[in-house]
Amino acid sequence: MIYLDNNATTQMDSTVVETMLPYLREKFGNPSSRHRQGRAARAAIDTAREQVASLVSAHPSQVIFTGSGTEANNLAIKGYVAGVMSGRLFIGSTEHPSVTSTADKQARFDGWSRFELPVTENGLLSDEAMEKLNMAKSGDLVSVMLANNETGVIQPISELYGQLGLKDKGVTIHTDAVQAAGKLPLNFSALGVHMLTLSAHKIHGPKGIGALIRDKSIAIEPQMDGGGHEAGLRSGTENVAAIVGFGAAAVLAHESLVRTSEKLLALRTKLENGLRMIPGIEIIADKTDRLVNTSCFTMASVEGETMLMMLDKAGIAIASGSACSSHDNTPSKILTAMGMDKSLARRALRVSLGKDNTENEIDTFLETLKMKLASFNSIASNVAI
Ligand SMILES: Cc1ncc(COP(=O)(O)O)c(C=O)c1O
């Protein structure tokens, strides 16, 4: 099996699994209990909070653990809107559904409206987006992701928002950094945002655990009420093992960032040099600053979904869009937002590399893709005759 779908999820690192195991076995205490076992669980959460904070150079008290990246995006947007009478939501047009659908719902509330920020064909915020953002006023909320899950395009948000003076105008800024974490150096305050979303399973940690990093001067309303866990912002007995795993994954991601990025860039360069030799393949946004692990491309003749299944049969795991939208055959909203026509967007595939991929795997992938394209084309031409 060659796994090239690391933006959908990553394999848990064995160190992460080992770190978690005691919390699934003998260290099962409830972190809210006062006895020794409870205190041990609480201490483990405190350590993980420091580790996750350190990945983004934030203070541990700024970390709110949530049940996923999706939940953290919901908490950021719903939690903020719930505390402000009226305002405008400015949302990137290539955001993850956990941002777009959350924003859609909030815009139905009295006093709130939603503005979509268009992107260029390279996936970057367009001039029109900048004009719209220039209208943002104190109390409004902007949410644009740091790096895109399908194309890997990196949005230079701190520079753009700096030029517009958004923070000085009192605009609240959220960013979904789920795909950026572990691939880009992240510094919460240098980014100039008030809220930032992370998810553990994209950085070799467990699924079902995320975090919202927040500037404590911004009020957010909890979306889950109860015993007041996570500074009152996310009630519910903590998933200690998952939190501990997230902490361990954050340490690994932090420590290996430079080494891993260099390796991934070398692998992607090899991959894209190979792809460019295959007739009909076009790499999307290849002139734009992208995550070093991500390569999204279109093919001339075959639909992404068809090729995905052909490659799966050959033991290669790849995506034809984001994992969340792969269950239906509607073309990727991200690619169509970049101005791609629907039929071409249906012919897109995404390779997302991980730290454990090898050069041999890239060679095998390229060879297999060429073979499958050739066999598809010959079947298609026979059918045409
Ligand atoms: C950019 C982005 N944001 C948010 C999420 C959601 O994270 P989670 O799977 O932890 O809910 C994903 C997952 O695919 C993602 O790629």
pLDDT tens per residue, range 237-284:
999 999 999 999 999 999 999 999 999 999 999 999 999 999 999 999
Q: What amino acid occupies position 135?
A: M
How confident is the model at residue 378, as a pLDDT? 81
Is residue 323 scored above 50 in pLDDT?
no
Annotation says 296 is catalytic: no
Model pLDDT for residues 285-317, shown as the tens digit of each residue: 999 999 999 999 999 999 999 999 999 999 999
User: What is the mean predicted confidence (pLDDT) over 104-119?
Assistant: 92
Q: Is 90 helix (H, G, I), strand (E, B) or coil?
A: strand
**Residues 6 or more apart whose Cβ sits within 8 Å of residue 313:** none
Name the residue of 52, 93, 95, 179 to mutate for ligand 1: max ligand atoms within 8 A of Cβ: 179
Bridge pairing between strands 112-117 and 348-352: unpaired
How confident is the model at residue 185, as a pLDDT? 97
Give the span between the Cα atoms of 188 and 377, in whole angstroms: 49
Identify the active-site residue in 277, 324, 371, 379: 324
Percent of the chain topping pLDDT 90: 93
Contact 103, 114 (CB under 8 A): yes
Is residue 108 scored above 90 in pLDDT?
no
Contact 31, 238 (CB under 8 A): yes
Ligand 1 centre and the CA of 332: distance in Å?
Answer: 15
Atom of ligand 1 nearest to the CA of 179: 1
pLDDT-derived band at 380, boundaries 50, 70, 90: confident
CATH 3.90.1150.10 placement within the chain:
2-9+256-373
How confident is the model at residue 324, as a pLDDT? 44
Q: Whole-number mean pLDDT of the chain? A: 95
How confident is the model at residue 219, as a pLDDT? 96
**Residues 6 or more apart whose Cβ sits within 8 Å of residue 78:** 102, 105, 106, 221, 223
Model pLDDT for residues 35-79, shown as the tens digit of each residue: 999 999 999 999 999 999 999 999 999 999 999 999 999 999 999
Say which residue the tokens 């967007």 belong to. Answer: 345
The tokens describing 251, both together, are 């340490």
Atom of ligand 1 nearest to the CA of 73: 4
pLDDT-derived band at 385, boundaries 50, 70, 90: low
Contact 165, 275 (CB under 8 A): no
How confident is the model at residue 377, as a pLDDT? 83
Cβ atoms within 10 Å, residue 171: 22
Q: Please give all residues whose beta carbon lies within 6 A of any atom in ligand 1, as ranges.
A: 68-70, 73, 96, 98, 145, 149, 176, 178-179, 199, 201, 210, 322-324
DSSP state for residue 299 in the 8-state scheme? -
Handedness of CA 261, 264, 269, 272 (dihedral sign): negative
Closest among 256, 183, 243, 182 to 60, alpha carbons compared: 243
Bridge pairing between strands 141-143 and 172-176: parallel
CATH 3.40.640.10 placement within the chain:
14-255
What topology is assigned to 2-9+256-373 in CATH?
A: Aspartate Aminotransferase, domain 1 (3.90.1150)
Model pLDDT for residues 178-216, shown as the tens digit of each residue: 999 999 999 999 999 999 999 999 999 999 999 999 999
How confident is the model at residue 322, as a pLDDT? 47
pLDDT-derived band at 321, boundaries 50, 70, 90: low
Q: What amino acid occupies position 7?
A: N
Q: Is 225 helix (H, G, I), strand (E, B) or coil?
A: coil
Is residue 327 scored above 60 in pLDDT?
no
Beta strands in the chain (DSSP E): 2-3, 63-66, 87-92, 112-117, 141-143, 172-176, 195-199, 210-214, 282-283, 294-298, 316-317, 348-352
CATH pick for 14-255 out of 3.40.50.2300, 3.40.718.10, 3.40.640.10, 3.40.50.460: 3.40.640.10
The tokens describing 220, both together, are 């957010």
Q: What is the CA radius of gyration of the chain?
A: 22
- Report how far apart, in Å, the C-alpha atoms of 96 and of each of 73, 255, 304, 319, 332 are: 9, 27, 20, 15, 11
